Amino acid sequence: MVKVVVAGGTGHTGLHIVEGIVEAGGHEVVVFSRQATNPVLEKLGVPIVTVSYDDPAALAKALAGVHTVISTISGLTADTITKPQLALLDAAVKAGVKRFAPSEFGTRSIPDNPIELYRNKWPVAEAVMKSGLEHTIFEVGVYMNTLASGTAGVGHLPPMKFMFDVEKCKATIPGDGSAPVVYTRIEDVGRFVAASLNLNEWPQYSQMRGDRKTYNEILGLAENARGEYFCRRLRATGLKFPYRQEV
């Protein structure tokens, strides 16, 4: 048994990972959050430690005795996702933490990624690789739950449309739709991360896949489910037309 901290564990991804660890058992889990309470965590009996990522000494003290840190800190800017994670990593090194997983949970971040979110994640991934801590980067693709966004049973994710708005029968697809994309249910992500705690050694990248299909294949499934054609927008051209028209 080891002590695991899920930073940002009151958030959407974090809650699923905490649930996965509790369900699997065998480890002590604590949540770092700016929020003092959370009804899901209260029901699970998981303690919350309120932290400030602007207080390095207090952060390192809170990490005393922790074996593994899993960051699920979220945000769209450098101030909200990059800066706090770098502070957390620095505190983890000082506290003698053994393992650290940055908040990736998507596609692999690279320095020149056209998507700002992934560009802001790259400095953290790079710093983790240079930290000397055992680490892994969880790559999951897109949360499959987003295809049913706005309906019951999609876990703790907020209503969110990514590429496909199944509710309104619309799709925004990059290129010609032939590129493959990986989808994974967020509940399975939580179980996968929990299982990885039992590995003797973490790989540099931990990849998971619920399914892999092209954008066009996913669109076909969505259209069959709704029983009508979607209005498809090509991201590269901005051209709008019903999907029944061949491209």
Q: What single string gives the DSSP state of each residue in the chain? A: --EEEEETTTSHHHHHHHHHHHHH-SSEEEEEES-S--HHHHHHT--EEE--TT-HHHHHHHTTT--EEEE----SSIIIIIHHHHHHHHHHHHHT--EEE-S--BSPP-TT-SSHHHHHHHHHHHHHHHSSSEE-EEE--EEGGGGGTTSTTSTTPPS--BSEETTTTEEEESTTS-SEEEEE-HHHHHHHHHHHTT-SS--SEEE--SEEEEHHHHHHHHHHHHTSPPEEEETTT--EEETTS--
Is 16 a residue whose pLDDT tops 50? yes
Is 237 a residue whose pLDDT tops 60? no
More confident residue, 111 or 90: 90
What percentage of the chain exceeds 90 in pLDDT?
75
The confidence score (pLDDT) of residue 241 equals 35
Q: Could you tell me the domains of the chain?
A: 3-242 (3.40.50.720)
Is 239 a residue whose pLDDT tops 60? no
Is 244 a residue whose pLDDT tops 60? no
Model confidence band, residue 234 (pLDDT cutoffs 50, 70, 90): low
The confidence score (pLDDT) of residue 228 equals 93
Most confidently predicted of 107-116, 121-130, 234-243: 121-130
The confidence score (pLDDT) of residue 247 equals 25
pTM as predicted:
0.90
Is 236 a residue whose pLDDT tops 80? no
pLDDT tens, residue by residue, 76-89: 888 999 999 999 99
The confidence score (pLDDT) of residue 149 equals 84
Is 196 a residue whose pLDDT tops 60? yes
How high does pLDDT run on average in the chain? Answer: 90
Is 246 a residue whose pLDDT tops 60? no
